[in-house]
Amino acid sequence: FAAEGPVFCSGHDLKEFSNEDDVKHHSQVFELCAEVMTLIQKLPVPVIAKVNGLATAAGCQLVASCDIAVASEKSQFATPGVNIGLFCSTPAVALGRSLPRKVALEMLFTGEPLSAHEALMHGLVSKVVPEDRLEEETMKISQKICESSKSVLALGKATFYRQITQDLDTAYKITTKVMVDNLTLRDGQEGIEAFVQKRKPVWSH
């Protein structure tokens, strides 16, 4: 995900939440947003946010929902809904799963932004680079990912999100089975054979 201009994403258009619209309309807006955020994790490929500017409210939620986020040094991240009387409860779902609880709650309670380097320190973004290197660094990560097997990546991503909410024993049971399943994939065997034969693997996709 990327954007042009000084704002990566400012979230919802507040004009959609006037009293002229009914509760059903408001529910549809938030349900659609939640569907988009959850679909990101269900996609079989990694999703990268390339952030150059301000990401607020649902825009900050979008960054937190992506698998990887690369930000320019000028980027900022905020959940300022509390300041206009609409607490960022749905962004809090993604923030609470990406940031330490106290950092997420300070953002949610105050609306004050995190700088790009603060976002990196707390785990909201993966990397911070100068603005003139943002495209290059994002593409470098993307190209490296594209060198791997699509089926192996899809299995690994799905498993990561499945196990992360489990207790330790359950997480190991899930991932142990998946490692065995991974070995049954055509690309799983191809990768091991290529390693043993000291050659570059040829993936099925």
pLDDT value at position 27?
87
How far, in Å, CA of 106 to CA of 109, rounded?
Answer: 5
Domain positions in the chain: 7-146, 148-197
How far, in Å, CA of 176 to CA of 182, rounded?
Answer: 10
Q: Tokens for 180, please give them.
A: 């065995």
Q: Residue 109 class from Cβ within 10 Å (0-12 exposed, 13-18 middle, 19+ buried)? A: exposed
pLDDT value at position 11?
86
DSSP 30: H
Bridge partner list, 48: 68
pLDDT value at position 20?
67
pLDDT value at position 21?
65
The CATH code of the domain at 7-146 is: 3.90.226.10
CB atoms within 10 A of CB 190: 16
The CATH code of the domain at 148-197 is: 1.10.12.10
pLDDT value at position 128?
98
What sign does the CA torsion over 23, 26, 30, 35 have? Answer: positive
**What does the pLDDT profile of the chain (205 residues) look like in tens digits?**
999 888 999 988 777 777 666 788 788 888 999 999 999 999 999 999 999 999 999 999 999 999 999 999 999 999 999 999 989 999 999 999 999 999 999 999 999 999 999 999 999 999 999 999 999 999 999 999 999 999 999 999 999 999 999 999 999 999 999 999 999 999 999 999 999 999 999 999 8
Strands 54-56 and 76-78: parallel
Distance spanning both ends of the chain, measured CA to CA = 23
